[in-house]
Chains A and B, each alone.
Chain A
């Protein structure tokens, strides 16, 4: 739904943290297999034979953080344009073929990856592979389709961002948090740059990045790995490698030394709220053990109703109506760790902020109990079993992790690495990565409220 209060919004934004991204990683039990085609396409197969359904996804290892300066939004714009036809198939033919058999198709773009998928019955898989392999190098774009689609994207930005004070604030918090890395730029792009995107920009981006040697094929569902190999070789296997492309080395963050605030007042805001973010290592950029500790730290500090922030601020102290934390685990480069809270009743935002700070300080100084750590680990580990219940979820987990720099081996060893985290690792992570004096705090305020 397009409108949510900031708390819900933040919860949504933060919800895709480690718990959801990493939930599937009891790899051995998943029966997932992986192989490489000669042209460099990595193929991952995750069998799930319970229902006659298969999820077919292609993940390109390119996202908005790989865009050239001044062309923000081109990765996402291209994603839209990928439905506009190829030398072999007319615009809309692929989607019509999916719809004709009751399938679903869609695509999505993030900072680090762009993915296309269909959910269909297994007998349609060869046809899906034919279409998807075809548009890997065969896209054709005319001015007639590009211009209206740019308007669609502009409307999409209005609907997602401009219409929502919480989204606007989140965008500017990111732009403030990341001072050098392109993660500071929104995936959908800045409005004034979207308006200038054109056909040539899109094709240039496409030619460089869309190729089998820059992609991962994930197939989950009612299939067997050997039949997938045959099908993939007959379709994707025929697509030539792409040109040499630069390594994904983005400008990295400098050392951060300041506390910054971003304040947004809007008449649509009814209840104030705050979020505070730090730049921290991701699974891909962390030293061994750091990301697992941050993951468990987010769970213990602010993951759900048994977390410290919720229990202390919402249940016991009663100063907050909501409070939590999130860690954006899957990212190629250093990422963000955030906490959020909104006051309850007549409490002001400063009181809530003080309480959040006190909880973080307490955790950093006094550490976590063995019981807290055991429960958090158990929740992570059993989530790996629950995750196997959803084939699309599994495909997304593998795709997002593999396209943000992790390997199958990393995924397989996740449960044991989680088990190895100690209570001292968690408080170390809090001290090192959540300093009290270096962070970005976003305030969402009803219009007319005095700044914090």
Chain B
């Protein structure tokens, strides 16, 4: 009934910057875009006495402080046979730390009026805290405790593990999950990106509190830490808070090396299942975030299937033919792999037609590139969208500060960005269309089997 709001179109955001990879691999990756046109954001770089760096945006409009952080090295650091351990660990930080057991810790956190969260991505373990300014000291004290002295008591381990196993079992018969796993394996082979970051019931069962402690001491250090802070706090206060919160962490992380990987393209994975719709996912070659041609590729992708109502795929698949509710293309950038993803879902009997329309639209883009007018519109979109997508809350700004540092884009990126976009020529964008879209993609189809399918 009334709770299910149903919208004109799904919210899709451009993937200009992979910020911190929170989400499982390939599926309709959408990340907030970065790069404001006319931001009022004044970023300070703060370095504590203990040598911890953070980016800060001071703002006293609302009496709160948002702190976000990321530790490089996420679920790709899970030891073989212990898949899912990073994910399990992030469920345990509010389950007891220091002298406080789970109960005591949660009650103190509640009294401090703070919200704390952790998340394991493939490339980072990230987290954050949002607190009222007046209770900041108590709240940050608890964050320090959680980060530096987590207890990993047996009872919470067993409980959180049971929840994760229940979640895995709940999805075990979900064809979309099965397809996602099959696709990741097909595209990434034996690279850690092909592994299941949530683990399996079997791998989770082997994890002990000692394993968790070992991983914690490997991953939570000062040299792989990124911090972004927004709100009612000044630089001097933040400096001492940085040392207080993070100062007791070891100086260096001990990370396993993870290789870069080119997604394997040019093959099909199909999962037959009697569903109401067929889901289609096409993976093409992507482009690294630090590639000089990143912006031409980004603009081209936006013209092809970006967030606005006006993309070529939206026009061809939805507006002209009514074949799907959502269709889009986006760049997906992780630390070690890049791709360009197109996704949609349609009536099973029309799946082949949709695939043909997508292929034709892609082929046309690959051979001709975008028009001047399309490129212009995409530029104006990317210039204007920055503040809207990145600066409309303290948490969003703090995430942006972490993302900018993760991608090593520099303090002045926000000022440089408009010129980077404005300078892209049609020829550059067309060259990226040829480069990324000429190859046969990897295609995933999940839906009712068709005659002739094996």
- Asked whether, in the complex, the Cβ of A102 is within 8 Å of the Cβ of B310, the reply is no
- Asked whether, in the complex, the Cβ of B2 is within 8 Å of the Cβ of A3, the reply is no
- Asked whether, in the complex, the Cβ of B387 is within 8 Å of the Cβ of A51, the reply is yes
Query: Which among A53, A103, A271 is the interface contact of B170 at CB below 8 angstroms?
Result: A271
Is B64 engaged at the interface, CB distance under 8 Å to the other chain? Answer: yes
Main secondary structure of the interface of B (DSSP, over half): mixed
Is B193 engaged at the interface, CB distance under 8 Å to the other chain? Answer: no
Interface size on A, residues (CB 8 A): 103
- Asked whether, in the complex, the Cβ of A102 is within 8 Å of the Cβ of B113, the reply is no
- Measured between beta carbons, the chain B residues less than 8 angstroms from A52 are 38-40, 387
Is A302 engaged at the interface, CB distance under 8 Å to the other chain? Answer: no
Query: Which among A51, A103, A184 is the interface contact of B392 at CB below 8 angstroms?
Result: A51
Give the distance to chain B from A449, nearest Cβ to Cβ, in Å.
12
Query: Which among A79, A95, A446 is the interface contact of B308 at CB below 8 angstroms?
Result: A95
Contact stretch, chosen from B55-63, B217-225, B333-341: B55-63
Is B377 engaged at the interface, CB distance under 8 Å to the other chain? Answer: yes
Is B395 engaged at the interface, CB distance under 8 Å to the other chain? Answer: yes
Q: Which of B127-180 contact A (CB under 8 A)?
A: 130, 132, 159, 162-163, 165-167, 169-177
- Measured between beta carbons, the chain A residues less than 8 angstroms from B380 are 99-102
- Measured between beta carbons, the chain B residues less than 8 angstroms from A167 are 4
Query: Which among B39, B110, B159, B377 is the interface contact of A99 at CB below 8 angstroms?
Result: B377
Give the distance to chain A from B11, nearest Cβ to Cβ, in Å.
7
Give the distance to chain A from B388, nearest Cβ to Cβ, in Å.
5
- Measured between beta carbons, the chain A residues less than 8 angstroms from B393 are 389-391, 393
- Asked whether, in the complex, the Cβ of B382 is within 8 Å of the Cβ of A102, the reply is yes
Give the distance to chain B from A269, nearest Cβ to Cβ, in Å.
7
- Asked whether, in the complex, the Cβ of B171 is within 8 Å of the Cβ of A3, the reply is yes
Is B1 engaged at the interface, CB distance under 8 Å to the other chain? Answer: yes
Q: Mark A146-165, 1 if CB is under 8 A from B, else 0.
A: 01111111111011101100
Q: Mark B89-102, 1 if CB is under 8 A from A, else 0.
A: 00000100000001
Is A281 engaged at the interface, CB distance under 8 Å to the other chain? Answer: no
- Asked whether, in the complex, the Cβ of A390 is within 8 Å of the Cβ of B392, the reply is yes
Contact stretch, chosen from A241-249, A377-385, A425-433: A377-385
Give the distance to chain B from A149, nearest Cβ to Cβ, in Å.
7
Is B210 engaged at the interface, CB distance under 8 Å to the other chain? Answer: no
Is B394 engaged at the interface, CB distance under 8 Å to the other chain? Answer: yes
Q: Which of A1-47 contact B (CB under 8 A)?
A: 1-3, 5-8, 13-14, 16
The 7 closest A-B pairs by CB, nearest first: A102-B384, A151-B322, A148-B322, A5-B170, A111-B2, A162-B276, A102-B385
Subset of 30 A-B contacts with CB under 8 Å: A5-B167, A5-B174, A6-B170, A51-B39, A51-B40, A52-B40, A96-B308, A99-B310, A101-B380, A101-B384, A108-B7, A109-B5, A109-B6, A110-B3, A111-B2, A121-B38, A150-B322, A151-B321, A163-B277, A184-B1, A269-B173, A306-B110, A315-B159, A318-B162, A344-B162, A345-B162, A345-B166, A385-B62, A389-B395, A390-B392
Excluding A102-B385, A322-B163, 17 further A-B contacts by CB distance (< 8 Å) are: A51-B387, A52-B40, A100-B377, A103-B388, A104-B385, A104-B388, A110-B4, A148-B319, A186-B1, A188-B4, A188-B6, A268-B173, A269-B173, A306-B110, A315-B159, A318-B159, A344-B166
